[in-house]
Amino acid sequence: MVGKIVNHLNSINSFSKKIIVFTSIISFMLCACGVGIIFYDASIGSTITLHTIGSTFIYTAIVLFAQFVVGSLVIDFFKAIIESD
């Protein structure tokens, strides 16, 4: 089962792989900023504004990653269909 998933992920074209890698890096940085803001908020005293900003950064990182991964897989799928004709 895992082998099939790995084989399909290895067959993705290079453009889609670059999108996934770039988005992973950006999402990790956004998530790290959000966690840093939340830790900073906890250390200075709780303010709802900083906690909300940190939570929004983390939420945005997860949504951004998911959208770009799905988008790159759709691009790969349609490219495979176009090239098979």
Q: Please tell me the predicted confidence (pLDDT) of residue 52.
A: 93
Domain that holds residue 79: 2-84
pLDDT value, residue 4: 79
CA–CA separation, 79 vs 65, rounded Å? 21
- Residue 85's pLDDT is 67
Q: What's the confidence (pLDDT) of residue 32? A: 97
Q: What is the pTM of this model?
A: 0.79
pLDDT in tens, the chain (85 residues): 778 777 877 788 888 888 889 999 999 999 999 999 999 998 988 888 899 999 999 999 999 999 999 999 898 888 888 887 6
Q: At what angle do helices 48-84 and 14-44 cross, to 10 degrees?
A: 170
Number of domains in the chain: 1
